[in-house]
Amino acid sequence: MNFGIDRLLADPELLGQLKGRRVALLAHPASVTADLTHSLDALVAAGVKVTAAFGPQHGLRGDKQDNMMESPDFDDPVHGVPVFSLYGEVRRPTGQSMHTFDVLLVDLQDLGCRIYTFITTLLYVLEAAAQHGKEVWVLDRPNPAGRLVEGTTLLPGWESFVGAGPMPMRHGMTLGELGRWFVDHYKLDVAYRVIEMAGYAPDAGPGFGWPDDRIWINPSPNAPNLNMARAYAGTVMLEGTTLSEGRGTTRPLEIFGAPDIDARAVIATMRDLAPQWLAGCALREISFEPTFHKHVHQLCRGVHIHAEGAGYDHHAFRPWRVQALAFKAIRALQPDYPLWRDFPYEYEFGKLAIDVINGGPSLREWVDDAAATPAELDALAQPDEAAWHEARAPYLIY
């Protein structure tokens, strides 16, 4: 199969539509062609008049490790074009930067999760392009989490940099498809197009969205592999807790733990509470010691969520429910455990991070209610999931 960048470079007609026009590129380290050439280099080599570049959270170079670590503007040392940070002094492109190009190419590998900030950045550049009369082309890439939908819908008033609109946590769309929904949902008067992938089969195994013949490159520093991408719609909630999500280890956002939990008991309690939610993955008791971030240099007992190998069932795996169930198990075992981390999260103040992440308080309230059952969380999420299936249908391409 071919990603959008590869189709663009191989099609003289498409390239011809960029001839004589000033082109900017929004990209990160995973923005590469099939032969691993970075898209910026490939576009320049193809004769495209690249006049600017933009970097999302973690930067064009992917060098910023954690949340709320901002990237500066700089000049590209090879091509000499200005590189504007969309996660620094600003998160929306300025009028100055918008005047450096005519067409913006967006080539970002997404993870298929509402909270992954690249989709919010796409919305912001679409809004700016509408204001300034610029074109936006998304060079489409696979959604490694596939087509499945999971989680509650973000509530009105809970929009944030990790909540670009009323969608569930796992949206099941490619970036190009999601852009089509943004344009329609927010009534944007913008020249928008998707350079589609060729041969993309999101429902086909074994990759279910990620082709076997493409190398995985971290789109952000803590997105190291396909297993993480599959689990992320659940494990990202750990960022709103006192539990380590594995930052400072080699398997971030696939694991969780802390020095003061009994991982074996947590797994057993999860199986007692809702064994049906654990289908499609394997849970393994582990020990780890983060070299930075939460619980640095402390021995943590925890759990590794394996959405891989013989035990992986793509259509059964529900990462948001798996991680919610882990929180519920810890609360059942240790009712007074200080689970929720109170700190500024992605520039949101005065709200608990776990609520910002989930786009409302319902997940936290379910965890903290000792009488609340798994069926009650299903009753909250299932109508939202069904509604999103219907809402997104007109915008699907593949």
Name the band, by pLDDT with cuts 50, 70 and 90, for residue 390. very high
Comparing 13-22, 113-122, 206-215, the range with the smallest average pLDDT is: 206-215
**Percentage of the chain exceeding pLDDT 90:** 92
Please tell me the distance from the alpha carbon of residue 21 to that of residue 3, in angstroms, as a whole number.
23
Question: Quick one: DSSP state of residue 116?
Answer: S
Q: Region 221-225: what's the mean pLDDT? A: 95
Residues spanned by CATH 3.90.1150.140 within the chain? 226-387
* 305: phi then psi, degrees, rounded to nearest 5: -95, 115
Name the band, by pLDDT with cuts 50, 70 and 90, for residue 65. low
Please tell me the distance from the alpha carbon of residue 232 to that of residue 307, in angstroms, as a whole number.
10
Name the band, by pLDDT with cuts 50, 70 and 90, for residue 346. confident
Please tell me the distance from the alpha carbon of residue 340 to that of residue 390, in angstroms, as a whole number.
33
Name the band, by pLDDT with cuts 50, 70 and 90, for residue 70. confident
The size of the chain, in residues, is 398
pLDDT tens-digit profile of 313-340?
Answer: 999 999 999 999 999 999 999 999 999 9
**pLDDT on residue 393:** 98
CB 254 within 8 A of CB 231: yes
Comparing 102-116, 279-293, 335-349, the range with the smallest average pLDDT is: 335-349
Radius of gyration of the chain (CA): 21
**pLDDT on residue 129:** 98
DSSP letters spanning 15-54: HHTTTTS-EEEEE-TT-B-TT--BHHHHHHHTT--EEEEE
Q: Is 369 helix (H, G, I), strand (E, B) or coil?
A: coil
**Percentage of the chain exceeding pLDDT 70:** 98
From the candidate CATH numbers 3.40.190.10, 3.40.50.2300, 3.10.20.30, 3.40.50.12170, the one assigned to the domain spanning 4-217+391-395 = 3.40.50.12170
Closest CA to 382 of 227, 225, 151, 189: 151
Contacts of 96 (CB under 8 A, 6+ apart): none
Give the sign of the dihedral formed by CA 116, CA 317, CA 279, CA 152: positive
Residues spanned by CATH 3.40.50.12170 within the chain? 4-217+391-395
Please tell me the distance from the alpha carbon of residue 267 to that of residue 264, in angstroms, as a whole number.
5
**pLDDT on residue 66:** 60
Contacts of 356 (CB under 8 A, 6+ apart): 158, 160, 162, 163, 240, 345, 346, 348
Query: Is 226-387 a CATH 3.90.1150.140 domain?
Result: yes
Name the band, by pLDDT with cuts 50, 70 and 90, for residue 67. low
